[in-house]
Amino acid sequence: MKKTIIITAAVVAFAIIALFVFNKIFSKKDKISLYAEAKKGLFEITVSNSGELIAEKSIDIFGPTLIQSNQENIQQGGQRSSGGGGGRQGGMTITVSRGMNAGSFHMQDYKITDLVPEGTIVKKGDYIGTLDRTSYENNLKDALTTLTTLQSDLEMKVLDTAMSMTNLRDEIKNQRFAVEEARITLAQSKYEPPATIRKAELSLNRQERALEQNLKQYELRKVQIKRNIDYQRMQLENQQELVKNLQDFLAQFTIKAPADGMVTYKKDRLGNKRKVGSSINAFDNIIATLPDLDTMLSKVYVSEIEVTKLVLGQPVNISVDAFPNKNYNGKVISIANIGEVLPNSDAKMFEVMIRLEGSDYNLRPSMTSWNKIIIKTIPDAIYIPLECVSTSSDSIQYVYKKNKTRQIIILGELNDKNAVIKKGLEPGDQVFIVPPEDAANFRLVGEKLLSKAGQEKE
């Protein structure tokens, strides 16, 4: 019985001691959390926001493009530059001649049927992906059918022309014989009566005129036939060129890397990455990009209130979520003049581009960044957390100090966390983070600062 009582008493004593120690620790921790210390050092006024890394320069990987001009030509342009320093690689022209055999094509979307994984390292000429070529294969079939018809028509035209010209040459030859016979008849009639001689002269004249007409007809017919055959040959050559260009065009539905690099999927206007199954608009047919990792940008959006504080060249401290232990420096290189409404946001946001200094090949496009744009720095400033500052009904700022006083202060610059104290506090002063429960008992001090502040304003 006594043993049980002793054990019980020991347990109760231990619990009381443990509770006392816990309360002491908690009270000490709570006491520490009530106060903040006025600090002295570099004070930065910043605009901060998350962003996304992009390559400053990149090579865009394009799919085939058809562009119809006023001359009824369908063309795919050659190299062209793209935003951020990208370049368009490759190019060809599909010419559609005028006339009955002119081709007709309409702008169509392309569907991606295969694409290498994003992040794949490729060499120039390596396979990137494949596009659906069904629609234009039908065009090629039609063009081949027309080509066969034109070839047959030309062959028949050549045969018909050969026969026609042969007949004309035979007629000229026979007419020359008729002229010769008329000359002989005239020569033999010199001893005949005048009427017979005159008749022979008229016959010779008639045969000579017929020969002259046959020769003119032959030359005109030859020019006409040549023109017709040249026209049909031109149609055939145009169709052959069309077929060849269509075949070359369809060959471009197998996408190859225009240069060495790492494949990055292209985002559409809605921010969705293009992948297998995506449709590519004929006017915006970038499938992927090969970013240049030597120079990276951080794209960040800033509110219309904060954008007025930014100027080109401002320094930026940058961190990347993928490498939390690394920090990068950068500078603002562009600020959008026109705001835009982003998805899930009603406020106007302005695009700001920041160039990272140096190179780090561990950085990749689309990585999330945190950007702290430094608007202004104040050396040797005294500052406290914003939560410590209280404001009276007559707009006087003050703080509650640990020494039971309510100290009037003169505020300076603010940032998102701290406030500069121009007058009223010294480094190391302890102030309450939130007003104490007995705030009414704190003695007000520092009234002289109000008159000095008024004089400085004057």
Claim to verify: residue 150 and residue 128 sit in the same structural domain? no
Residue 220 sits in the same domain as residue 262 = no
C-alpha closest to that of 400 among 387, 418, 412, 413: 387
Among 227, 249, 271, the domain-final residue is 249
Q: Is residue 105 part of a domain?
A: yes
How many other CB atoms are there within 10 angstroms of residue 88's CB atom? 19
pLDDT attached to residue 242: 86
pLDDT at 416: 85
pLDDT of residue 66: 56
Q: Say if residue 233 is in the same domain as residue 328.
A: no
Task: Specify whether 234 is located in the same domain as 168.
Answer: yes
Residues 320 and 262 in one domain: no
Predicted pLDDT of residue 95:
42
**Do both 317 and 348 map to the same domain?**
yes
Are 103 and 239 members of one domain? no
CA distances from 367 to 250, 264, 313, 344 (A): 36, 12, 23, 21
CATH, residue 364? 2.40.30.170
Q: pLDDT averaged over consecutive 10-residue blocks of the chain (458 residues)?
A: 53 54 46 80 93 92 62 36 37 40 57 91 92 83 89 87 86 89 87 86 88 88 86 89 85 89 85 86 84 93 92 96 93 94 84 94 91 94 95 91 94 92 94 92 90 55
Last residue of a domain, one of 325, 353, 377: 377
- The pLDDT of residue 4 is 53
Of 289, 290, 287, 292, nearest in space to 252 by CA: 287
The confidence score (pLDDT) of residue 214 equals 87
The bridge status of strand 110-115 relative to strand 121-122 is unpaired
Q: What whole-number distance in Å separates Cα of residue 14 and Cα of residue 450?
A: 56
Residue 292 amino acid letter: D
Do the Cβ atoms of 354 and 331 come closer than 8 Å?
yes
DSSP state of 267: B
Q: Determine, yes or no, domain membership for 104.
A: yes
Domain membership of residue 179 as a residue range: 139-249
44 closest CA partner among 299, 297, 309: 309
Q: How many domains does the chain have?
A: 3
Q: What is the pLDDT of residue 5?
A: 53
Confidence (pTM):
0.59
